[in-house]
Structure 1
Amino acid sequence: MSHTTDDRGLMMHWDFDEGTGANALESVSQVRDDIQYVFNQAEFTERSGPQWRQGVTGSGLLFDGYSTAIAHQVNKGDTNNAPEFRSALTIGVWVAPRFYDWGYEGKLAAIVNRHNMERKQGYLLGMFRHGSWSFQVGLEEGGWKGIWSPNGYELPKNEWSYVNCVFDGNQGELKLYLNGCEIASSAVPCGSRLAEAVGTDLLIGKNNHSSLWGEVFNLQMYSGIIDELKMYNRALSAEEVAASYQHVLESAHGGVKPQVQYDEIKLDRTPLLLDRHRPQYHVSPPAHWMNEPHAPIYFDGQYHLFYQHNPLGPFFYQIHWGHWVSKDLVHWRDLPVALAPEKDQLAPDGIWSGSATYDADGLPVLFFTAGNDSVSPNQSVALARSTYSENGDPDLVQWVKHPEPLIVQEKGMGAFGDFRDPFVWKDDDGWYALVGSGIEGEGGAALAFESQDMLNWTYKGPFYQADIQKFPYLGPIWELPVLLPLGIDNQGENKHLLLVSPVGKGADVEVFYWIGRLDKHNLSFIPDQEEPELIDVGDFHFTGPSGMVDPKTGRKIIFTIAQGDRTSELEYQSGWAHNGGLPLSVYLRGDGRLGIEPIQELQSLRGAKQLSFHDKSLTEANVLLRDVQGDMLEIQVELEPGGATQLGIKVRCTPDGEEETLLYYDLNEAKLLVDRTKTTQHPGEKCSGVQGGKLDLLGENLKLHIYLDRSMVEAYANGLKSLTTRVYPSRKDALGLELWGDGELVVKTMEVWNMQSIW
């Protein structure tokens, strides 16, 4: 397209109007550059090219924040060989950032750059924390000069901004323009010349000297849409910059600033839906990284669930609160990020785990761990309110943070420096909070607080703490404390359930629980027995607990993260890491033990019933199972041991038995186990070995309720224990089932359903 700007001195121009494909044309040199993108090659899903979106004129290119980049060799086909020094440079580009980089090691997330800061060569235009941005150049005289956007001129997320930076060596000026207006200028020596970073590629969307994270991920990559990138070897005037901005507005947008539709820029789950390992009826972010789901709450006919999320890529980095909403706890919708780190004194460095409750008016509030690395400790308890009372937004998309932290850890209040994951509940007497921490030198602890107004909190001491001498696996610190009422037991006592997740040296990172009594007067917990129990025996696949009392049904429901158990390389290639476990209903059984079962609403996902029979021998049952196939199944089976001491079922079996995963019960050991020694032949996958733990069936038949969902395997045994594990078969025909025992057994009943995706 033609511009009103005089295109004299135009060195490079990418209009990104391809709209499809895996390369982009630099129109001055007529060179087509490959676009680097993770799914250009794909091992586990169908190949798909980079994501093109609506631009300011024609299309624009969406950069995913961790894999999308363009490398352009300057001089390759250029008509004007680039000089080693230049007296002027102007860059103009339209950007719509999606998320901000954290600014690790002080480096900029590059929009466009060709630089070597150590040698003080080249140029770098990029973004920093919370939307601030900068243009930096290396000068012939050996200086590295930069100019920064002033406060109030940050680049907003999910909006188009027209950015220009000008180096004018003859006049001795660096200038920044935003949306056609000058916002900053800085002096350099008159007669300065920019020293080219010879031998370095020009990169779009990626820093020439990015930090490596987890040995796999390049940080400081741009996340969002880019359009109309132009570079000139002269200094454009303020009038030319303004005219260029106005030209786009008037030629394509009726004179108003272009808008970004949220659906154009949001994280897109579509490329991941065909991934043969990605669960389809377990809750997951649209893409990239999650850890624990938390803060479940019911409001105005909908369930809300939040989750720890790095929206920049499938790796643990700067954490936001992702957000889903559901009418039935089964089918979830992705909503925009609810809480993000901002340029404030509250939580600039991360929005860590927390919980949800109601304020005095019955409106939802979020309690979260505020990350601020400039203070000690760098964790405090903070609050965010929904804007529902102002705008009636039924999805609770908008949240406003209370400006000050509500609970700040002081010396003597738990293990100093470890203070996180508030679990807050309300009753007729006020609000109560548990915060994960420890007692110096003694072990993990949940600390107790109370408040009359939800804003001013009083420390009541440890709610409950570990005896680390007796139970070293309970670790020095507890995270994610959860307290749920279980109701009245057979002796007429009111029981509660306390869940914790130990971390730190010597800790077994699982979900441990106690059943016991709440002493509300002292705000402390008295367990029925000192030794904790596990809900799940699958070894670090069922972690990160949160819980709620469902106001609709009175059920106590637990949510967890299902850890992915993969290498960083495979998470990079896949574009996602982790998902939620199925929601669990927990209750007090008649025998005083904790009952667990997947919520009944999951039955709504059943498709065709593949199989149903009862009272068959092992041989007869396996004949019937021969044609049953699937990686998205619900299985219910009851096995009577007969002469067998080990019995169970093989899932995700290849026809030749080369790959299979065995779920079984060992009567002699009284253990529920999974054998993954033959799960996969893929050289990069980690799943292997035998995992499991104690389960006393007290003479009952083995009753397994199993959910297969691609790489997810969840087995619920007799309503008492679960075993969650992950399987990543290398072969696409690993879809079979086979019942198994080390002796004769009777298959009392068996039913198998196909399961449907929730997305």
Structure 2
Amino acid sequence: MRRVTVLLAALLLCTPSLVAHAQDAVTIGFDEAGFPGLHSQWPTEIVPGAQGGALRTDGFTTWWEQPLQLEGSRFVGASLWAALESYPSDREVPAREATPASFLNQADGKRGFDLYIDTYGRWGLRLATSRGMETLAAPARFPVYQWTKIGFSADPATGTIALFQDGKVVSTGRFKAGAAWLPAQAPLKLARSWRDAKMGEARVNLLNGAFDDLTVSQDVGRADALQARDAEPAASISQSLATPASRFAADPLRPRFHAIPPANWTNEPHGLVLVNGRYHLFYQRTPNGPFKTQMHWGHMSSPDLVNWTHQRDALFPTLQTDTVGFDMKGIWSGDVIVSGGQALAYYTSVNHGGVFNPGVSVAVSNDPKLQHWEKRGPILDTAQVRDFRDPYLWKEDGAWNMIIGAAYEGHGGLDYYRCEDGDGPTCWKHRDRFAATPFQAMDEPGSTIWEMPVFEALGDRRVLVANPIGGRISKYGLAATRAVYWVGEWAHGAFTPDASAPQPLDVIPGHLSPAVARRPDGVLVGIGIVDERRSPQAQIDAGWAHTFSLPREWFLTSGGHALGQRPIEGLKTLRADAVGAAQSSLVVRGERLLGDFGRQAELQARFVAGARAPYGVVIGASPDGQEQTQILYDPATREIVVDKSRSTLSMSGEGPEVLRGKLDTQAFGEPLAWRVFVDGSVVDVFLGNGAAFSFRIYPSRADASLIGLAAQDIVTVESATMWRLKAAKVDYDLD
């Protein structure tokens, strides 16, 4: 059993306080089910550690503290093992205004000691003395994704102060003559600073990691033992930093077979790329909590787009000087290409003003697993447009092309560059025209900028996808944020769309910003975000926010003029039974529940043509109908209607209760064939020949898991088949 140990020359345990008084030692075991002094949203999370069990913290609710009194005239020292998944978050402020987190402190800002670390990995010791505050800064950024033993010692008798890491002294200082150190009248805290940085009610500067073998001592005879790294870590980083499965095991709303980050905040997926037979998906991430700040590039990979392995964050904000970094405010979306035997990540880098804010920056990886990246710096700025973000690249006729979502005066569009002579950072030349049709004519009325563009060939035609936002377009406004597309021709370096007005990628808003990759068979596959439709507080209470869509195959319909989407075949491997529960020749009027297939289910239904009134399916239904969601097609108006007015009894839902969208029956046909996936709170629907949409529901009742058919008049159902679906396999490869 590994223990947190507090060793004082004079110590008495007065539960729950630690008070200097007697010759004694106090231990608190990490392997115990209860952990006195622990603050956490979750039951105590004990993971394999450096020497045994370790305390896993989540980055926004977890810390440990105990009252502790120390004597300022005597030696003081501390050490601990720490493994960080990420640097602490912070408010997006300039470096000089950062609020550091803390590995360990007994401090109040004016007195005590603080083993601190900030959002850029700068760490060290602050020690209050009677002659002023002494600061020892470590010379190198703290390593993430590895077990590291750190600590300090301070001895007024000899006048020495030392900061150490993995058995070596990395920084030293001295007390001013006659000075003593000044203990604080504050508790000893692990993984929480003496000063919080907050966004709303959320603490953002806690630590996301694992901690083992904490020692605090006033026995000068233990100075060498505090410093020594006398053993190698017993556990792998993948074992120690995997999000414990128990954290979300009881959450019925968390998806089980959709791609989803291990915890906390995610945003758009991007940079989907196939390398050596494995798909790599990068995505926007705050690793320290379900709130958006200091964006990272998260990273997961898959052999089949169904089962996923979580990998190290690929990119995160850094500084190049003490105060300036070209991506210090966040690593926003971009794209990954493979060229010349290496992977190149082109991303939107954001700082706090000056040149290249925002900019397009480049990082390079020669790692077969794409785990390790070297930043090369910014290459483009917004010289040609008012604002831009989210580069997308493709190669054609031996040259690389890049489009970037852009803002012009009064409308959105694209900024276009071409690289004729290689992949180097100096090769990009601006082109004045990407589309033959003016962007203002192509734009959704009232938008201010386009995000997350995609441009790909489907057969001998081209598809452009973008996400207009801003202005009159908002998540819950009359003009909803959504992905749109154009189909057209590419010739002589210009795209000519069939029509200037865009078409919606999905029938109903809820899924947007897809990333795409081509399978070995040439089929284009997209994965987007299905964003939250519940309150920020509900997201914090859940411990995670947003998820990704099921992977969708893209193809052209309607004579090559419309983009169709269908689920990939590999999703059939999730079916728990080889043969589903099937019914046929059903006559439905009103609702006809088909059974309880759990929170992870698939329904396939085929309706008989000729219905004159709305028909469709009901999901997330309780036996008494108090909670349920209906998805209907109205033949009279050719609308899809998602009725969420009884979707949940919870008060945390947001957005419209009824969603409507026109179905292009000329492109996709009458929706007689339905395929519906339910996975906790996310629903993916595929209709007819290529219509698709995804949305969120949040049933509150434990029994709201029935699915069935619905019709406002008589409709005949040729067949209906239901399956329980298994959770996808999830692994970690962080070493």
Corresponding position of 1:21:
33
| Aligned equivalent of 2:102, options 93, 97, 110 | 110
Q: Supply the distance in 2 between the matched residues of 1:6 and 1:115 (Cα, whole angstroms).
A: 18
> 1:422 corresponds to which residue?
391
Confirm whether residue 208 of structure 1 aligns to residue 194 of structure 2.
yes
Which AA in structure 2 matches 1:179? Answer: D
Equivalence for 1:434: 403
Q: Find 2:162's aligned residue among 158, 172, 175.
A: 175
Candidates 441, 457, 463, aligned match of 2:434:
463
Q: Trace 1:595-744 onto structure 2 (pairs within 5 A).
A: 595-608=564-577, 609-619=579-589, 625-640=593-608, 642=610, 644-686=612-654, 689-698=657-666, 700-744=670-714
Contact 2:532 2:696 in 1 (8 A): yes
Give, in angstroms, the shift of residue 574 of structure 1.
2.1
Q: Would the aligned equivalents of 2:444 and 2:468 in 1 still touch at CA under 8 Å?
A: no
Distance in 1, matches of 2:575 and 2:213, equals 49
Aligned to 1:571, what secondary structure does the other structure show?
A: helix
Asked whether the equivalents of residues 445 and 466 of structure 1 are also in contact (C-alpha less than 8 Å), the reply is no
The reply to whether residue 134 of structure 1 matches residue 121 of structure 2 is no
Question: Which position in structure 1 is the counterpart of 2:21?
Answer: none
Q: After TM superposition, give the deviation of residue 501 of structure 1 in Å.
A: 1.2
| Shift in alpha-carbon separation, 1:690–1:570, aligned structure 2, 3 A | same
1:171-250 matches, within 5 Å, as 174-187=161-174, 189-198=176-185, 200-213=186-199, 215-233=200-218, 236=220, 241-246=223-228, 249=230
Q: Deviations over 1:348-367 (max 9, x none)?
A: 44332122222134x44332
Residue of structure 1 in register with 2:733 after alignment: none
**What are the superposed Cα offsets for residues 275-324 of structure 1, whole Å, 9 maximum, x if unpaired?**
21111111111222221222122222222222222222222222222222
What residue is the counterpart of 1:758 in the other structure?
728
- The residue aligned with 1:447 is 416
- Equivalence for 1:79: none
Deviation at 1:190, TM superposition (A): 3.0
Structure 2: distance between partners of 1:397 and 1:258: 25
Match for residue 364 of structure 2 among 385, 388, 392: 385
SS for the counterpart of 2:37 is strand
- Report what 1:511 is aligned to: 483
CA distance 1:232–1:332, shift in 2 (3 Å): closer
**SS of alignment partner, residue 317 of structure 2:** coil
- Counterparts of 2:205 and 2:175 in 1: how far apart (Å)? 27
Structure 1 residues 326, 115: CA separation in 2 closer, same or farther (over 3 Å shift)? same
User: How much has 1:676 moved relative to structure 2?
Assistant: 0.5
The answer to whether the Cα contact below 8 Å between 2:393 and 2:401 also exists between their aligned partners in 1 is: yes
1:368 aligns with 347
Instruction: Say which SS state the counterpart of residue 531 (structure 1) adopts.
Output: coil
CA distance in 2, matches of 1:481, 1:437: 10
User: Given residue 151 of structure 1, which amino acid in structure 2 is its aligned partner?
Assistant: P
Give the Cα–Cα distance (whole angstroms) in 1 for the partners of residues 388 and 338 of structure 2: 22
CA distance in 1, matches of 2:285, 2:406: 22
Once the two structures are TM-superposed, the CA of residue 259 in structure 1 deviates from its matched residue by 6.1
| Structure 1 equivalent of residue 452 of structure 2 | 480
Q: Is the 8 A contact 1:93 1:162 kept in 2?
A: yes
Partner of 2:84 in structure 1?
97
Q: Deviations over 1:47-94 (max 9, x none)?
A: xx22233233x433222222221121336xxxxxx57x6565433333
Cα distance change on mapping 1:266 and 1:226 into 2, 3 Å: closer
CA-based RMSD of the aligned residues comes to: 3.0
- 2:61 is aligned, of 59, 63, 67, to 67
- Check the 8 A contact 1:16/1:227 in 2, yes or no: no
Q: TM-score, normalised by structure 1?
A: 0.84
Return the alpha-carbon distance in structure 1 between the equivalents of residues 448 and 196 of structure 2: 35
SS at match of 2:259: coil
Q: How has the CA–CA distance of structure 1 residues 107 and 744 changed in structure 2, closer, same or farther, with 3 Å as cutoff?
A: same
Offset at residue 730 of structure 1 (A):
0.7
Q: How many residues are aligned here?
A: 693
Could you tell me which residue of structure 2 aligns to residue 8 of structure 1? 9
One-letter code of the match for 1:125?
L
Instruction: For residue 366 of structure 1, give the secondary structure of its aligned residue in structure 2.
Output: strand
In structure 2, the CA distance between the partners of 1:230 and 1:629, relative to structure 1 (3 Å rule), is closer
Are 2:467 and 1:536 aligned? no
Asked if structure 2 preserves the Cα contact closer than 8 Å seen for 1:92 and 1:231, the reply is yes
C-alpha deviation, 1:96, in angstroms? 2.6
Q: Would the alpha carbon gap of residues 6 and 450 (structure 1) be closer, same or farther in structure 2, given more than 3 Å must change?
A: closer
Residue in 1 that maps onto 2:464: 498
Which of 335, 358, 376 is 1:403 aligned to? 376
**Percent identical:** 25
Bigger mean CA offset, 265-274 vs 351-360? 265-274
- Distance of 2:108 and 2:207 partners within structure 1: 18
Match of 1:491 in 2: none
Q: Distance in 1 between matches of 2:445 and 2:534?
A: 24
Aligned to 2:477: none
Superposed CA deviations along residues 220-252 of structure 1, whole A, max 9, x for unmatched, are 212222223233447x48xx5334434x61xxx
Decide which of 581, 595, 613 is 2:549's aligned counterpart: 581
* Cα distance, 1:218 vs structure 2: 0.9
Deviation at 1:731, TM superposition (A): 0.5
Correspondence for 1:30? none
> What is the rounded CA distance, in whole Å, between the counterparts of 1:712 and 1:299 in structure 2?
29
Shift of residue 467, structure 1, vs aligned partner? 5.2
| Superposed displacement of residue 751, structure 1 | 2.0
Are the equivalent residues in 2 in contact too, given 1:606–1:755 (CA < 8 A)? Answer: yes
2:294 to 318, 323, 327: 318
Structure 1 residue 504, shift from structure 2 partner: 2.4
The SS at the match of 2:652 is coil
Contact 1:20 1:52 in 2 (8 A): no
**Counterpart amino acid of residue 263 in structure 1:** S
> Counterparts of 1:379 and 1:140 in 2: how far apart (Å)?
45
- Distance in 2 (alpha carbons) for counterparts of 1:569 and 1:22: 27
- Distance of 2:444 and 2:281 partners within structure 1: 33
Partner-residue secondary structure (3-state), 1:573: helix
Q: CA deviation at 1:134?
A: 2.4
Once residues 626 and 424 of structure 1 are traced to their aligned partners in structure 2, the CA distance between those partners, rounded to angstroms, is 47
Give, as a single letter, the amino acid of the residue that structure 2 aligns with 1:504: G
CA distance in 2 between partners of 1:160 and 1:114 (Å): 23
Whole-Å separation in 2 of the counterparts to 1:471 and 1:157: 43
Q: Secondary structure at the match of 1:308?
A: strand
Which 5+ residue runs of structure 1 have no aligned equivalent? 24-32, 41-48, 76-81, 489-494
Match of 2:22 in 1: none
Is 2:45 aligned against 1:50? yes
Name the CA shift for 1:98/1:479 in 2 (closer, same or farther; >3 Å). same
CA drift at 1:528: 0.9
Q: Secondary structure at the match of 1:263?
A: helix
Q: In structure 2, do the counterparts of structure 1 residues 626 and 129 end up closer, same or farther at CA, with 3 Å as the change threshold? A: closer
Contact 1:91 1:166 (8 Å CA) reproduced:
yes
Distance (whole Å) between structure 2 residues aligned to residue 207 and residue 713 of structure 1: 40
| Structure-1 residue corresponding to 2:476 | none
Amino acid at match of 2:254: R
Residue 282 in 1 paired to residue 258 in 2? yes
Structure-1 residue corresponding to 2:334: 354
CA distance in 1, matches of 2:677, 2:282: 23
Q: Output the CA distance in 2 between the equivalents of 1:572 and 1:579.
A: 15
Please tell me the residue identity of whatever aligns with 1:34.
G
1:305 paired with 2:281, answer yes
Deviations 1:514-546 (A, max 9, x none): 111223x3x33221111111111333x202221
C-alpha deviation, 1:622, in angstroms:
6.0
Asked if the contact 1:474/1:502 (under 8 Å) is kept, the reply is no
| Cross-structure match for 1:44 | none
- Compared with structure 1, are the counterparts of its residues 231 and 333 closer, same or farther at alpha carbon in structure 2 (3 Å cutoff)? closer
Q: 1:332 matched to which residue of 2? A: 308
Q: Is the 1:320–1:341 Cα contact (8 Å) retained in structure 2?
A: yes
Contact 1:444 1:477 in 2 (8 A): yes
Instruction: Give, in whole Å, the separation in 2 of the partners of 1:481 and 1:738.
Output: 37
Distance 2:79 2:550 in 1: 48
1:550-607 Cα shifts (integer Å, max 9, x gaps)? 2x11112211011122223222232222221011112121433222211222222223
